[in-house]
Amino acid sequence: MEFLSEIDRLKRVDRQSLITGRVRRENSAEHSWHLAMFAMILGREADGIDPWHVVRMLLVHDIVEIDVGDTPPHAPGHDPATIGERELAAARRIFGLLPGAQGQEILALWQEFEAGQSADARFAKALDRLQPLLLNTLTDGGTWKENGVSEEQVVSRYGPTIAAGSPALWEHARQLVSRHFAAQGEATLAEPRAL
Amino acid sequence: MEFLSEIDRLKRVDRQSLITGRVRRENSAEHSWHLAMFAMILGREADGIDPWHVVRMLLVHDIVEIDVGDTPPHAPGHDPATIGERELAAARRIFGLLPGAQGQEILALWQEFEAGQSADARFAKALDRLQPLLLNTLTDGGTWKENGVSEEQVVSRYGPTIAAGSPALWEHARQLVSRHFAAQGEATLAEPRAL
């Protein structure tokens, strides 16, 4: 119960993504729910994937952010040299609130996700990239527009991780990205230009 | 993908409960994540419970609120005669966005939760009562204090559902409630009184 009380704090960790309606940024708890739904729905159709294992990984994958915060890989403060250590310390502290065997199991799930080697972990990581991609297409460009990210940058930043987890999902996501940028281009052309 | 886009709206459905830190009310998406964690952690220890089935039920149990909103059973606008029909229409619309077989499966999961007859559904409903109980004890009384709810009312409103899902969980929750109201009583006595 101490663990279940502590993780309530994930609701106060904000991410970069806007939620639909563009009313505010997404927090890591609701992001984890959305990802679990992605895994439940899309994992059922994927060969060689255990949806329950993927759901469990995704439910716990961001809990370390309670101590470390959300640090997007392209943000200025992102330091890959130290973030791994800080996240591991957070995982040990928070999962250590659980009784021994269960704490070890959750730590192993989180480590499997971080390592990204197993088919289930690669699929989980693909969904963790697909979900913000979908949100950006649903929020008029969202963080892409805020940061002036081009279609080519989207493809290079999202493509490898999504394709490694599921080539079929990347094929679909690539179409969403093309349609999004094509529509943005048309909207820009349609704007009245100053002389 | 249409379904996964539509359910993003659950992040904009607010509940009554305060989150820890008392900074704002909880939304139904992050509530669903928190409940899935309850099921993953507590379902493992419960006899005759399939944690994956319970997690799936809890991930989808509130999605109908996208159309219907969150209507607590003790709120003034709660009309049990019509709410069932409105929720069923919402379930058909939203789960109907999924391909046939999968939409039917999720509809069946949601109906199993609503019926509350199977051991897994009773356990899921117990967690859905336990989680706001825990939040209220962690937020200085939360909605209980706002609404002047007494210890006896808490016991009668939460006890039957939690005990029906798991007598052991209710035993633990009953102690949390006793400790909470005892501490509230002491805090009241310690306040300086006007003459």
Chain A residues inside the 8 Å CB shell of B135: 8
Task: Determine if the pTM surpasses 0.90.
Answer: yes
How far does the CA of residue B61 sit from the closest CA of chain A (Å)? 12
How far does the CA of residue B51 sit from the closest CA of chain A (Å)? 9
Q: How far is CA B148 from the centre of its chain?
A: 20
**What residues of chain B score a pLDDT lower than 50?**
195
Is the pLDDT confidence value at A95 over 90?
yes
Question: Left, alpha or beta for A35 (phi > 0: left; psi -120 to 50: alpha)?
Answer: alpha
Is the pLDDT confidence value at A99 over 90?
yes
How many C-beta neighbours within 10 Å does residue B77 have? Answer: 8
- Taking CB atoms and an 8 Å limit, are B23 and A37 in contact across chains? no
Burial A108-129 (b: 16+ CB within 10 A, else e): ebbebbbeeeebbbbbbbbbbb
Is the pLDDT confidence value at A193 over 70?
no
- A108-160 pLDDT, tens per residue? 999 999 999 999 999 999 999 999 999 999 999 999 999 999 999 999 999 99
- Taking CB atoms and an 8 Å limit, are A34 and B8 in contact across chains? yes
> Looking at chain A, which residue has its C-alpha nearest residue B62?
A33
Selection from A28, A106, A103 nearest residue A67 by Cα:
A28
The predicted model gives A92-101 an average pLDDT of: 96
Chain B residues inside the 8 Å CB shell of A37: 4, 7, 59-60
Whether B23 has its CB under 8 Å from any CB of chain A: the answer is yes
If you ran DSSP here, which 8-state letter would residue A43 be given?
Answer: G
If you ran DSSP here, which 8-state letter would residue B23 be given?
Answer: S
Selection from A167, A173, A168, A171 nearest residue A130 by Cα:
A173
According to DSSP, the β-strands at B25-27 and B14-18 are antiparallel
pLDDT for B77: 67
As a whole number of angstroms, the distance between CA A27 and CA A14 comes to 4
According to DSSP, the β-strands at B14-18 and A25-27 are unpaired
Is the pLDDT confidence value at A104 over 70?
yes
As a whole number of angstroms, the distance between CA B176 and CA B172 comes to 7
pLDDT for A192: 64
- A43-59 pLDDT, tens per residue? 998 999 999 999 999 99
* Residue B6, amino acid: E
pLDDT for A100: 87
Q: How far is CA A53 from the centre of its chain?
A: 17
pLDDT for B185: 86
Helix, strand, coil abundance in chain A, percent, nearest 5: 70, 5, 25
- Taking CB atoms and an 8 Å limit, are B33 and A38 in contact across chains? no
Burial B36-69 (b: 16+ CB within 10 A, else e): bbbbbbbbeebeebbbbbbbbbbbbbbbbbbebe
As a whole number of angstroms, the distance between CA B7 and CA B4 comes to 6
> Looking at chain A, which residue has its C-alpha nearest residue B25?
A11
Instruction: Tell me the average pLDDT of chain A.
Output: 94
pLDDT for A65: 97
> Looking at chain B, which residue has its C-alpha nearest residue A127?
B4
State the distance between the two ends of chain B, measured CA to CA, in whole angstroms: 65
- Taking CB atoms and an 8 Å limit, are B33 and A36 in contact across chains? yes
Whether A164 has its CB under 8 Å from any CB of chain B: the answer is no
- Asked if B16 and B143 count as a contact pair (C-beta separation under 8 A), the reply is yes
Provide the ipTM: 0.94
Whether B29 has its CB under 8 Å from any CB of chain A: the answer is yes
Q: Which of A12, A36, A41 sits opposite B36 (nearest CB)?
A: A36
The predicted model gives A163-183 an average pLDDT of: 97
Is the pLDDT confidence value at A67 over 90?
yes
As a whole number of angstroms, the distance between CA B15 and CA B169 comes to 23
